[in-house]
Amino acid sequence: MSTQTVSNTQDEKHPMTSHQQKFCSTVAELIRLLCSTEDTVEKVAVFYHQGCPDGIVSALLMKYASINDNVIPISAFWDLKEEVIKSKLEKVGIDVVDETVAIVEVDVVIPAAQELFNSARLHAKIDHHVSQREICQKIGGICIDNVCAAAIVAEMFFQQGRQLSKAMKRLLEVLDHKDRYTSVWKTSRNIQALWEAVFQSLRFMDRAETLLNELMKMNDDQSDLWISSMTAGGELLLSQRDDSICGVLLAYLTQATFNGIACIVVNFDTFPRTYEEREKARANRALIADILSSIFKMPVFIIATPNDDQSIYMISAGSSAECELTGLEIAQQFGGKQGHRHFAGFSTSHDEFNKRVTLGEKLELTADNWKEV
């Protein structure tokens, strides 16, 4: 595979930067190590963002692509310590210093382990979190915020006669929209429906592997039947979800101002509802941010107070393309370091939040009219 193909977006008018060239070289080597019977590596450790559908699917695609059956997915978070990483590697029999080992990080950068990983024969990084661009460049990785990591992995490995099933391609299309928090609320009900049907299966490695094993074996007729049935089932789940959001959320919106920009604040702990109803709303906070930022064209703050520390707000900041600030830009102004362009998280004290965000009047949006806005 040529480096031009791997780069995904480059042409003669837009030459690759030095870090993209380094990435292409690294990927070419990774493809050779996974897909060749000669001069391969004994083990490839793929660290993926735990609970992240994109990271999990990416790791599994590399596992399927390897003809040497040597890919080992390992769950991880950004803030893991080096000793924890070493322990995870020891459990699967990997010595990073060994020249027969390769390391890949997908959708998760582990700062404490970068020096350790660089001891491996090969260290690659693939991400779509725009907040990770700088560290990606440092290690020769790539951060592309207009396509999910799984789509990049699929492009790299499943070409030249190796085809993904129609069902698998549709899953990647849906994953690309939803895991990057692109606004699809008004544009594609089918994307939302299929996502609603498969999301819980993609959050856990064992469930995702079972699902992908089935999808990879499907022919076109089987794929069409799966897509149709899952979309129909997802539509029923969407209706239930919409009713839940209407009933719990929409009467409790407050307009606010942050740095002179109009925004919306939703505080889960102000809802005079049951614990179960509040938890349903919390679980859909990305969707809530998508809906509200699309309707009002303002950034959205979604507040939750952790039970163990009532003085701290855990906040999700969301936005749509029409907003003056992105969710990530808001999070970064409060010290947040991780996230997507339109959906990112941070924590701050009550006092700091109230000092910087000025609350205003309640917004009128009822369960009867919100879908028509």
Residues 229 and 305 occupy one common structural domain: no
If phi over 0 gives left and psi between -120 and 50 gives alpha, with beta otherwise, what is residue 238? alpha
Helix (H, G, I), strand (E, B) or coil at 223: helix
Higher pLDDT, 78 or 270: 78
Predicted TM-score (pTM) of this structure: 0.72
> Domain boundary at 136, 162, 188, which?
162
> Domain boundary at 195, 213, 247, which?
247
CATH of the domain at 114: 3.40.50
Residues 34 and 149 occupy one common structural domain: yes
Residues 71 and 212 occupy one common structural domain: no
The pair of structure tokens assigned to 177 is 């929209």
Residues 16 and 151 occupy one common structural domain: yes
Q: What is the pLDDT of residues 61-77, one digit of tens each?
A: 988 888 888 899 999 98
Report phi then psi at 119, rounded to 5: -80, -15
Q: What is the pLDDT of residues 21-55, one digit of tens each?
A: 555 666 677 777 777 767 677 888 999 988 889 88
**pLDDT at position 181 over 70:** no
Listed ranges 176-190, 264-278, 305-319; the one with the highest mean pLDDT: 305-319
State the SS3 of 272-295: CCCHHHHHHHHHCHHHHHHHHHHH
261: containing domain: 249-372
Q: In what order do the strands lie in the sheet with 261-267?
A: 343-349, 312-318, 300-304, 261-267, 253-258, 357-363
Listed ranges 173-187, 230-244, 320-334; the one with the highest mean pLDDT: 320-334
> Domain boundary at 162, 179, 209, which?
162
Please report, in angstroms and rounded to a whole number, the separation of the first and last CA atoms in the chain.
Answer: 47
Residues 21 and 157 occupy one common structural domain: yes
The pLDDT value given to residue 182: 64
Residues 156 and 91 occupy one common structural domain: yes
Residues 265 and 314 occupy one common structural domain: yes
Which residue's structure tokens are 């803030």? 79
Residues 23 and 139 occupy one common structural domain: yes
Residues 292 and 339 occupy one common structural domain: yes
Residues 8 and 151 occupy one common structural domain: yes
Least confident of 209-213, 254-258, 362-366: 362-366
Q: What is the pLDDT of residues 248-303, one digit of tens each?
A: 566 678 889 999 999 999 887 665 556 566 566 556 777 778 878 877 889 999 88
CATH of the domain at 276: 3.10.310
Please tell me the total count of domains within the chain. Answer: 3
Residues 155 and 203 occupy one common structural domain: no
Running DSSP on this structure, what letter comes out for residue 15? P
C-alpha closest to that of 119 among 80, 86, 160: 86
Query: What integer is the mean pLDDT of 189-203?
Result: 86
Residues 241 and 266 occupy one common structural domain: no
